[in-house]
Chains A and B, each alone.
Chain A
Amino acid sequence: MELLNNILEYLGLFFVLLGSIFLFLGALGIYRMPDIYDRLQAGTKASTLGAMSVALGVGLMQPDWLIKLIVIILFIGISNPLSSHALARASYHSGIVPFFKNKIDAYENVVKKEKKKH
């Protein structure tokens, strides 16, 4: 029993460490990236994974809270990508030009089609 508890504790610590690394990388990405779309990429993916894995790590260390934390993980998993998607879409539609290197804008045609529909 004690062995299991120790294993769970170390596993939890590992997940918390992993999560903090991802959160740090997300912050670095927000600082380094050139425009809003790239920043959203860095921020969303890294911070979603980071927050989820910190919550999971805490849940492994404190098994009483595990169910609550799983609900929190699901909530983060739904809401975080969704809000970033809405932000990116809104900033494209309000005319923020992406930072191009190879001038490919695949979303332009989709927007044109949507406008024709209306």
Chain B
Amino acid sequence: MKKLVWLMVFLGLMGFSLALAQPRTVKVGFVSTLSGGGAALGIDVRDGFNLALRHLNNQLGGLPVEVIVADDQQNPDVARQAVDRMLKRDRVDFLTGIIFSNILLAVGDAIFEEKVFYISPNAGPSEYAGEQCNPYFVNVAWQNDNLHEAMGQYVQTRRFENVFLLAPNYPAGRDALTGFKRYFKGRVVAEVYHRLNQLDFSAEIAQIRAARPKAVYAFEPGAMGVNFIKQYAEAGLLREIPLFLPGFSADADVIRAVGRGMVGIYNSSQWTLELNNPINQRFVEDFRKTYNRTPTLYASQGYDAALLLDAAIKAVGGDLSKKDELRKAMLAGFNSTRGPLRFSPNGYPIQNYYLRQVIQQPGGEIVNRQVGTIFTNHRDAYVDRCKLR
């Protein structure tokens, strides 16, 4: 018995000294939705992130990277357990990956309390943009309202008399319609929220048909978007009432699933396939080559999350204990797939928003093409309420 104890002590010491001897690595916890209806989003972000790591030779700011991946199953409870494990057992240096705002809000406190940076590649809840903004939060994608603000602005310029609004009932859904209404000044016929992850839209479609609006605006990410657009077309409404979407519901993942029904639809995005800069060109080309599919805005966000980490860690010379300097370096901006990207003090980006349209190319391929710019250097609406500087 005694021998066993000494052996264990010895082994423990050995392990400790080994850990000291090794070069510092960056541990990144990647919690994302990798199964179920939102899986396409999480997988795109993950693949984008991994592609960036490959381009960076598996290093971030010169330090070797270890990525720990977990599937949150789009369930706040599962996400909390995964985050708890990464913070307390694996002791990660950064966390990233979460797709859905309700999941992020369920784990955010736990991450910030441990003074670990969360780099959001997607979820951008209004909560973290205003009064509750946090120095350990940076979002490389957008604030939830932004793409919808852009679409509200566009539908406004088309002078539709009224519009029917539809979104799932969760933080990003409420942010979405708030954002749309901030720029659309016409009448809102009805504002319908449904359960998150609902897949049968027959009840909502019947409501739309009965309300006879001039246009419909729907925020439906992932499988919800696929199902809603298919069922909207099957009910014969696509020809009668024009449908406007944010980029989330009209990107390559949805186009692959819905097909020709998508042609003609206008949508908004902070990123497009055609953005003319070397980072984006390399990203799009290599993403297609590596994964054999067209990248989405989600994939670009995952790619940019890794680029941001790389730039920030480089700026502090690999010393991850300099938290203040790290934050300053992150907010100072970096070169992204969208060109040089800057941030507001609340950690949200200041950027352009583009109008895209789904078109069928002569070869038959259906793509989402950039057709205009809606906002330039647009900030989120909550930044003034954030006390951080």
A interacts with B: no
